[in-house]
Amino acid sequence: MAEKDKLIGGALAAACGLLTAGTPGSSAAAESEPKWDLETGFLYYGESDDRVKDASLSALAIRDFGDERKLSLGLTVDTLTGASPSGAISSEAPQTFTSPSGRGTYTTPAGEIPLDSSFHDTRVAASATWSQPFARLYNFNAGLDLSTEFDYQHLGLNAGVTRDFNQRNTTASFAVAYGTDKVKPVGNVPIPFAAMSDAVNEDDDAPLPGRGADSEDKDVLDVLVGITQVLGRHTLLRLNYSYSDSSGYLTDPYKILTVVDPITGDPVVRTPPPGVEGPSGVYLFEHRPDSRTRQGLYAELRHDFSGKVLQLGYRYSTDDWEIDSHTLEARFRVPFGASNYLEPHVRYYTQTAASFYRYSLTDGVALPEFASADARLADLDTWTLGLKYGHQTVRGNEWNTRLEIYRQTGNLPTRQLIGNQLSSAQMPDFDAVILQFSYHFKL
Amino acid sequence: MKPNPSTIVCLLIAFASLGLSGCANVGVKPWEREVLAREDMQPDTNRMDTAFDDHIYFSKEGSSGGRGFGGGGCGCN
Amino acid sequence: MSAPLPRKDLRSRLVVAVAALLVSAVAAAADPATSTLDLARYRGKVVVVDFWASWCKPCRQSIPWLNGLRSRYGAQGLVIVGVNVDAERGDADRFRREVPIEFEVLYDPQGTLARQFDLQGMPSTLVFDRDGKLVHTLLGFREARREEHEIEIRNLLNRKIS
């Protein structure tokens, strides 16, 4: 009995002691452990000529609450300028198009691929994720993310769980993400295959011909199943299967297709009414299916060669739009000096065209159910070549910079080409430069 | 890494059926994780680069995503 | 009043382990850093053997906690022995400059002791009662369970040798 009282008394004293004073040794050390893990970055992305330029600022903050409970907060702001291909084809004659707002026109010189001058647009994206273990071998995470720009909004929720096996040599993971997006295009959502209309006055508020609702929605469900496996003291392998289902408005409201003459393959010529500015040809707004189901397999190997780390990744993706892609990527981190590293990077990507990808539409031929001339849905190959340099400071923080060049080459759908297109058709290929600065530090 | 037949079979089993017991003999002891615990061996090294890249490639190419998360590391706790 | 504890099985296991260690220590005599763990000398004390490494993040919390236990209960017969499993001694030294260790440390770079005790994770904390019997194996370290573990150790300290 006395022993038991002593035990209870002891337990109470211990509990009170821990709750009030704490223990000098442990709390001092716990306080000196950095609780914030912060990473800030600046990115510049610039395509050749007058095409897209993007400048982005991003910050990621992870707050450690002890025992592996973490809150991750992210914020990214980017501004986009420059022009991107509208989907219209180049022609021997200059072409005039009505701008997306319908309140002006722009002209493309002969022989050039028409670029739709994108808007000076700023996007803000934010995310928050909570992650914590439960039971010894499980970890759970849940988060939300949202982004907004003047014509597009996104809201997403995600949750995932991981479970370790085999003395933590094997980790199985499962994650689900659901997103809902709203697009509010300038000038309203175009009716599928409606013809680009003439321009109207600046102060004319009447709805444009060929336009419908002022916004459309889209939902995306993503599921990811994966395994990470330790293969040896120096080697880690990751394998994932992903499934993605999008439904709703998947069309790009700003992209068009050129209607061409069935013999020459040249754009059909159109003259706007007198006193009115408008398109010099017949350009129809594109139309994509209202659902897309995609599956992917991803494998990544990480191997340490006495301090140098090689990372190899391969991804295969296939979907019901018939876009199949392969991505092959390698990074090799080589430390030098006491606290520096160089990391070359190479990436190769190739995809097949969507089943409804069209170079142009032929006058007099019945319209297909779906069609898009967006070069991003065409048969294409891309290469990225880059070099990253990083330096660790005395405090264990790191700043790094990387410079990469990106080249995208579209492959002409030769079987679709007619007349003069066979000799003059071109894909809107481009080169881009990627420059990034980052600083990673702990507080 | 020395890929031996049992490693390959284990991976195929694990991937095909998530039969993780097939991987029971592959891996390292808990006290042998000094290399795996290094920052440059974590699945989320280059996290900011990856986020930027995913955004670029999502805007410029037809397919995206699927990289995943979790695993590796020091295996502590 | 508790019944006499059956110590023979665990004690003989420890003796065999120690003997095997001595043999392998002789075999690996080239590395003077390898230490043997002789629990017999701590008979009558509650012994906490903590396996740690420089690359083990939770060890940065568990070691200060163990320092605290030692200062609070050392006089009552608590002994803490750290076993470092770093392959490179330099990594352990660097860690010790950042995180002071106020108890004895043995070095096990080949993982011999770790293998002998068949560690299931890192950190691993083995708690032996005054009779030398292994009574608790703590896998990992969680701040939230500090109190609970401290109470368990106090209980062991309060039990007399049989």
> Which tens digit of pLDDT belongs to each residue from A378-393?
999 999 999 999 999 9
Helices (H), C28-135: 59-73, 89-98, 112-116
pLDDT tens-place string over residues A136-167: 899 999 999 999 998 999 999 999 999 999 99
In this predicted structure, the answer to whether residue A203 has a pLDDT above a threshold of 90 is: no
Both tokens of A422, joined, read 């066979």
Give percent of chain C above pLDDT 90. Answer: 64
Global pTM reads: 0.85
Measured between beta carbons, the chain B residues lying within 8 angstroms of A408 are 60-61
Question: What phi, psi does A110 have (nearest 5°)?
Answer: -60, 145
Segment (H or E) for A32 = helix A24-32
In this predicted structure, the answer to whether residue C150 has a pLDDT above a threshold of 80 is: yes
Average pLDDT over residues A291-316: 96
Instruction: Quote the CA–CA distance of A24 and A15 in Å, as a whole number.
Output: 15
In this predicted structure, the answer to whether residue C26 has a pLDDT above a threshold of 60 is: no
Closest residue to B28, CB basis, from A224, A233, A239? A233
The CA-based diameter of chain C, rounded to the nearest angstrom, is 50
Query: Quick one: pLDDT band at residue A16, thresholds 50, 70, 90?
Result: very low
Buried/exposed B16-49: b ≥16 CB within 10 Å, e otherwise: eeeebebbeebbbbbbbbbbbbbebbbbebbbbb
Task: Show me where the domains of chain C are located.
Answer: 1-30, 34-158
- Verify cis geometry, omega within 30 degrees of 0, for the bond prior to A267: no
Both tokens of C61, joined, read 């919390």
Query: Quick one: pLDDT band at residue A94, thresholds 50, 70, 90?
Result: very high
For C34-158, CATH number out of 3.40.47.10, 3.40.30.10, 3.40.50.300, 3.40.50.10860 equals 3.40.30.10
Give percent of chain A above pLDDT 90. Answer: 83
Instruction: Quote the CA–CA distance of B18 and A439 in Å, as a whole number.
Output: 38
Segment (H or E) for A399 = strand A398-410
Question: What phi, psi does A422 have (nearest 5°)?
Answer: -60, -30
Do the Cβ atoms of B73 and B45 come closer than 8 Å?
no
Cβ–Cβ below 8 Å for A377 and B62: yes
Query: Quick one: pLDDT band at residue A317, thresholds 50, 70, 90?
Result: very high
Q: Quick one: pLDDT at residue A17?
A: 37
Q: Quick one: pLDDT at residue C13?
A: 67
Distance from CA of B65 to the nearest CA of C (A): 30
Q: Quick one: pLDDT at residue B8?
A: 59
Measured between beta carbons, the chain C residues lying within 8 angstroms of B77 are 58, 121, 140-142
Average pLDDT over residues A187-215: 90
Name the closest residue on chain A to residue C145, using Cα atoms. A67
Residues 6+ apart with CB under 8 A from A138: A161, A162, A163, A164
pLDDT average per 10 residues of sequence, chain B (77 residues): 54 54 79 94 90 90 71 76
Question: What phi, psi does C55 have (nearest 5°)?
Answer: -90, 5
* Average pLDDT of chain A to the nearest whole number: 91
Do the Cβ atoms of A73 and A89 come closer than 8 Å?
no
Binding-face residues of C in 45-104 toward A, CB within 8 A? 60-61, 63-65, 67-68, 71-72, 99, 102
Measured between beta carbons, the chain A residues lying within 8 angstroms of B68 are 173, 175, 224, 226, 228, 238, 240, 242, 298
Cβ–Cβ below 8 Å for C64 and A28: yes
Instruction: Quote the CA–CA distance of A155 and A178 in Å, as a whole number.
Output: 9
Buried/exposed A95-122: b ≥16 CB within 10 Å, e otherwise: bbbbbbebbebbebeeeebbbbbbbeee
Measured between beta carbons, the chain B residues lying within 8 angstroms of A41 are 48, 52
In this predicted structure, the answer to whether residue A6 has a pLDDT above a threshold of 70 is: no
Cβ–Cβ below 8 Å for A382 and B61: yes
Measured between beta carbons, the chain C residues lying within 8 angstroms of A11 are 151, 154
Q: Quick one: pLDDT at residue A326?
A: 97
Q: Quick one: pLDDT at residue A7?
A: 42
